[in-house]
Structure 1
């Protein structure tokens, strides 16, 4: 299928842009965003959009956590004759290439969530190390990811409340990924459910006024990662930004007394770099959190990323995060807002994390799922 994008430069194969080169059904492109107030108050926006060209599907979600309630909107459409238009029902993404700004608009809908917000970058985008994994000679994942830190402006409405966002008061982050993405199947309404054992992982976006760190680490043995991608961005007095690549990360996590799941109370990271001194980052877990099953990560209610739900389909719900049955379905995977301190700076960010049974540390949370 030809699209207007085929008039532009950038083809990588003899196929039109709407046809990825390898034809694999798990080829995915994804956008993801979070926004939270700098003062750490109990509200958090999560939003994302996924594109599955070899399934003919695009889906999207938006969610707002307010205190201990999470409000979710999910939607899916068939690509049809508009495969490269980044909209799904009332949710639309607009990208200004020149300024680097990303605008997210969710028109009024039955979920009660609406917004018109714009992400404004404050550090350059950085590419993580390639995520590549084979199992028995079959490539399960070959994924590129780009991350970026920024500020937000605009407004959000949910649960009858409205928030005004300014770059001085709302910080956040985004990522952009593409390639073969291994499916995550953790939905008990769509068995079989994947089981995981013997590992620790965290993907953390840590932001300060003059610096920022993007960290992704996966370990089967403490201190011996089988995947590590870590980049520090640092702005000097002239405004110039320099980058350092992390080479080693050690972690010490103290877990909250949460009877319903894995929740960081506080933690300390020590990061060593290829150049210059190591850096210690101290983290305090704040009460606010968005569980990503609200956006179909791992699937929810028999619906997973990339499923064909017809020409158009949407759903919405409200979760009580203190309800044991809800938390059992939500599992662990979440964006957890953290208060940060390092080198005399304070900051804020998010962390996704999990510990699987069999990993030799953090036995106190082994009874909960890692994803």
Structure 2
């Protein structure tokens, strides 16, 4: 066993507890620290989702990228043993380079030498608005804290290229939008039995909406989480403008239109309230294309790979999913799905992500159980 030594980050005055930056202040195996980026065009042709995460108490670092193009979802996933250098955000062919914190990032995926027509990209993601804190996220099962996350969200523009199947797609400012989320804390990763608390506190229903939208001169963030009976455990609607105070927009209420026989949204209207005069505002949402996070991206309930799972050193996997037949991937409907969307607010047109998941009973929507769908 090697001797315990300081790591490079220990040279900087960033410590919050009397421990090396190599170690966490919690021994919870579900501790995590990760990010997600969305990159999408304004016509709904392409949706690229990528992220990287570290899981210090299980010793894993992993990353993923998925590209929705037509009815094909192209995925690259990589995982490795977590090392001491937390400033190097790279796993296998996937890399995130922080050029300017909170401002500019270079996102890249190296081509596979054995398959040069597979997915590769190099994209500069640039923020157009300040980062916004999201509400502190807490979730319990019985008496146990199962999720606690600190998060912030941001929107910007993207430039660069994506290559797939012998085609190069150019990303131009004004035609592509980017959003991103950073979070850290504790959230469930595979490999742990739920025990008595899970058995005696089954999930009856879960309803989730996470919606960052970029307009030309403003950025809107809406997040809602509700239980089966509609009890709200997470709530925020905030308008961000450069050089102005953030504007809280009250208690968002969403009217969501679903594809018949499913819980797949096609459009939505999110009702907001301006402070002061209490004037109602409406965020209109038109879904352009969609990407299930349970396919390729490693989110639950994926059955081929999930974040934080130890699959060995220097593991890389590339594959493609056929999305032309939704019944071929039944688990995807029970995971959160990210939808690239065209949005309207106060006469302006913007673009963003309408992330939605609704499973089990949700009384306000009229869903009675896990097999309940829209008429």
Q: Is 1:215 the equivalent of 2:198?
A: no
Q: Is 1:248 the equivalent of 2:251?
A: yes
What is the number of equivalent residue pairs in this alignment? Answer: 356
Match of 1:118 among 117, 121, 124: 124
Q: Is 1:168 the equivalent of 2:174?
A: yes
Q: What value does the CA root-mean-square deviation take over the aligned residues?
A: 2.6
2:347 maps to which residue? 344
Kindly indicate whether the alpha-carbon contact (under 8 Å) linking 2:102 and 2:131 is maintained by their aligned counterparts in 1: no
Name the stretch that deviates more: 357-366 or 156-165.
357-366
Kindly indicate whether the alpha-carbon contact (under 8 Å) linking 2:204 and 2:228 is maintained by their aligned counterparts in 1: no
Q: What's the CA shift for 1:37?
A: 1.1
After superposition, where does 1:194-213 map in structure 2 within 5 Å? Answer: 196-213=203-220
Q: Is 1:107 the equivalent of 2:110?
A: yes
Q: Which runs of 5+ in 2 are unaligned?
A: 192-197
Kindly indicate whether the alpha-carbon contact (under 8 Å) linking 1:35 and 1:46 is maintained by their aligned counterparts in 2: yes
Name the stretch that deviates more: 105-114 or 359-368.
359-368
Kindly indicate whether the alpha-carbon contact (under 8 Å) linking 1:232 and 1:243 is maintained by their aligned counterparts in 2: yes
After superposition, where does 1:11-26 map in structure 2 within 5 Å? Answer: 11-26=15-30
Q: What's the CA shift for 1:121?
A: 0.3
Q: Is 1:80 the equivalent of 2:83?
A: yes
Q: What's the CA shift for 1:35?
A: 0.6
Kindly indicate whether the alpha-carbon contact (under 8 Å) linking 1:262 and 1:365 is maintained by their aligned counterparts in 2: no
Q: Is 1:41 the equivalent of 2:44?
A: yes
Normalized against structure 1, the TM-score is what? 0.88
Kindly indicate whether the alpha-carbon contact (under 8 Å) linking 2:108 and 2:122 is maintained by their aligned counterparts in 1: yes
Name the stretch that deviates more: 42-51 or 318-327.
318-327
Name the stretch that deviates more: 346-355 or 295-304.
295-304
Q: What's the CA shift for 1:274?
A: 4.7
Normalized against structure 2, the TM-score is what? 0.87
Kindly indicate whether the alpha-carbon contact (under 8 Å) linking 1:33 and 1:174 is maintained by their aligned counterparts in 2: yes
Q: How far apart, CA to CA, are the structure 2 residues paired with 1:314 and 1:32?
A: 19
Cα deviation digits, residues 232-272 of structure 1 (max 9, x gap): 1134xxxx243122331111111123x5x422122111112
Q: How far apart, CA to CA, are the structure 2 residues paired with 1:289 and 1:195?
A: 29
2:269 maps to which residue? 268
1:70 maps to which residue? 73
Shift in CA distance, 337/53, structure 1 to aligned 2, threshold 3 Å: same
Name the stretch that deviates more: 247-256 or 324-333.
324-333
2:329 maps to which residue? 327
1:229 maps to which residue? 236
Shift in CA distance, 266/83, structure 1 to aligned 2, threshold 3 Å: closer
1:284 maps to which residue? 286
Q: What's the CA shift for 1:222?
A: 7.2
Q: What's the CA shift for 1:303?
A: 2.6
2:312 maps to which residue? 310
2:195 maps to which residue? none
User: Any idea what SS the aligned residue of 1:283 has?
Assistant: strand
Q: Is 1:140 the equivalent of 2:142?
A: no
Q: What's the CA shift for 1:367?
A: 5.1
2:194 maps to which residue? none
Name the stretch that deviates more: 268-277 or 103-112.
268-277
